[in-house]
């Protein structure tokens, strides 16, 4: 096809709000461009997420850009998400720049104008390096594109589109309602220059018969004077890793009969919940998320996941009775697994003498593993290999703090602890945990499964978005 030979402008997807599906649509377009012969790469100047990923060179980026890189057939790199914000609480956040933490900031200080130009210079430089090597760059905005009160300090939406000279497509979530107002308002609140960059609209998360929205589609085009490139139906049968904890609200919350019940403790600062995606799909298990003591009592396996605030979550576990429920379950012979922050909480003590996490200096852990943890300013981010049941497995580490037992996996009295994210993505680990159930049928490797899901997602979006018109918009 002719467009395969034509250099393309950068493309940016911005949203009428948060959680409208920008990340997943960017993933789809990354795969579509790759299928069509291009060499795309993802980019999000600034991300706010607790679900992150370690690159091969030991740097940290948002999980969404790692997924998008995989859809492009690339290894993830820090330039794809040069600025990552990891909230410590409602008021403070850890700032990760170029893949490395550079300190904690209050939200008020961060979003003031002072110091923003240094950050802007850094994210522009990261984009420029990517743009020299890849075409097209698939850019993702953040939150709502129409937050006019943040316009002067914005690094990620229209100011970034101006730097890249990108064509912009607005994504709206019809499922939450108000799609006409949100599309029109998002466009009309832009400056004339920025408004001219918005070349298309995608209506996302449609339920029902799309033919019933044909008149609505024409009305949006007349109202906004921008073409609607597609109306994309909601899907449930395509599995793409999500990075926003909003996705946890859609997860299973109940124990069930006939399978191994696996309870993931729903921490207030839970991070890297994608650790449980493979286990969710294993037919031997019923995985659910809960902080309800009575639900935990029905679990066969209890998992303490990663957290951005180990001490705060540990204190809350004790105050809510969840810690005591975990100890009772362990005493009754149930398996307890701790990953990253969960490992730290299962130890003897967690100390924070320098106030890295906040004002809690030290707490006793649950005492199930023989380790003591001290929070440190230095952060560990790396990809790792480990041996389990005689087989080589893969994962990655992202954690603050050091424990005095440096074994990759600590096992004692049907309790398992590890710093390794992706621990449960490995078949030998799952087979060990679910060993009393019949062997599962042969599954494709996790990599093959993900590749299949990216192709299915691309096919879904091709069916419902006018890709030819998108190419016409992007031709330089």
- Which residues carry out catalysis? 340, 421
325 in Cβ contact with 293 (< 8 Å)? yes
Radius of gyration, alpha carbons of the chain: 23
Give residues with Cβ within 8 angstroms of 459, minimum separation 6: none
**Dihedral angle, C-alpha 12, 18, 21, 25, nearest 10 °:** 10
Spell out the residues 6+ positions from residue 305 whose beta carbon is closer than 8 angstroms to its own. Answer: 264, 265, 267, 270, 271, 272, 273, 275, 276, 339, 340, 341, 342
Check if the beta carbon of residue 393 is closer than 8 Å to that of residue 429.
yes
Strands 391-403 and 372-388: antiparallel
Q: Is 463 in a helix, a strand, or coil?
A: helix
Are 90 and 80 in contact, with CB atoms under 8 Å apart?
Answer: no
For 11, the 3-state DSSP assignment is strand
Q: Is 295 helix (H, G, I), strand (E, B) or coil?
A: helix
C-alpha to C-alpha distance for 451 and 38, rounded to whole angstroms: 17
* Stretch (H or E) spanning 410: strand 409-411
Which H or E run contains 379? strand 372-388
* Assigned token pair, 37: 């012969």
Angle (CA) 458-10-238 rounded to 5° is 20
Cβ pair 169, 202 in contact under 8 A: yes
Give the distance, in angstroms, between the CA of residue 134 and the centroid of all CA atoms in the same chain. Answer: 23
Q: Using the structure block, give the residue that is written with the tokens 């956040």.
A: 93
Q: How far, in Å, CA of 216 to CA of 424, rounded?
A: 45
Report the alpha-carbon distance of residue 23 to residue 41 in Å, rounded.
13
Residue 126, phi then psi, degrees to nearest 5? -65, -45
């Amino acid at each position: 096809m002719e467009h395969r030979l034509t250099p393309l402008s950068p493309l940016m997807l911005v949203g009428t709000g948060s959680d409208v599906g920008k990340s997943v649509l960017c993933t789809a377009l990354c795969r579509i461009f790759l299928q069509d012969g291009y060499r795309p790469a993802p980019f999000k100047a600034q991300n706010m997420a607790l679900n992150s990923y370690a690159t091969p060179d030991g740097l940290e980026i948002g999980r969404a850009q790692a997924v998008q890189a995989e859809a492009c057939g690339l290894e993830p790199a820090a330039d794809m998400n040069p600025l990552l914000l990891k909230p410590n609480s409602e008021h403070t956040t850890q700032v990760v720049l170029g893949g490395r933490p550079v300190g904690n900031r209050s939200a008020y200080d961060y979003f003031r104008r002072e110091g923003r130009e240094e950050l802007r210079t850094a994210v522009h430089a990261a984009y420029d390096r990517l743009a020299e090597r890849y075409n097209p760059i698939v850019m993702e905005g953040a939150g709502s594109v129409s937050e006019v009160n943040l316009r002067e300090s914005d690094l990620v939406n229209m100011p970034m589109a101006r730097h890249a000279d990108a064509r912009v497509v607005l994504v709206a979530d019809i499922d939450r309602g108000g799609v006409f107002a949100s599309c029109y308002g998002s466009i009309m609140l832009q400056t004339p220059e920025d408004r001219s960059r918005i070349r298309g609209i995608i209506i996302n998360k449609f339920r029902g018969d799309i033919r019933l929205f044909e008149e609505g589609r024409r009305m949006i085009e007349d109202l906004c004077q921008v073409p609607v490139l597609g109306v994309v139906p909601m899907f449930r049968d395509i599995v793409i890793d999500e990075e926003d904890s909003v996705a946890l609200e859609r997860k299973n919350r109940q124990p069930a009969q006939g399978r191994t019940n696996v309870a993931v403790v729903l921490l207030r600062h839970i991070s890297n919940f994608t650790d449980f995606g493979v286990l969710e799909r294993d037919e031997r298990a019923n995985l659910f998320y809960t902080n309800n003591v009575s639900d935990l009592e029905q679990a066969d396996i209890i998992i303490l996941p990663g957290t951005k605030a180990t001490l705060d979550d540990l204190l809350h576990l004790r105050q809510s009775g969840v810690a005591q429920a975990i100890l009772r379950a362990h005493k009754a012979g149930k398996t307890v697994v701790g990953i990253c922050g969960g490992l730290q909480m299962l130890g003897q003590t967690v100390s924070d003498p320098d106030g890295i996490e906040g004002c809690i200096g030290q707490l006793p852990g649950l005492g199930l593993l023989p380790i003591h943890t001290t929070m440190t300013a230095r952060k560990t981010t790396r990809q790792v290999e480990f041996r389990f049941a005689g087989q080589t497995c893969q994962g990655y580490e992202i954690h603050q703090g050091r424990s005095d037992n440096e074994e990759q996996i600590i096992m004692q009295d049907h309790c398992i602890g590890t710093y390794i994210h992706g621990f449960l993505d490995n078949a030998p680990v799952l087979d060990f945990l679910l060993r009393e159930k019949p062997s599962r049928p042969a599954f494709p490797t996790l990599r093959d499964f993900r590749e299949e899901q990216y192709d299915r997602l691309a096919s879904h979006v091709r069916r419902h978005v006018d890709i030819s018109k998108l190419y016409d918009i992007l031709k330089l």
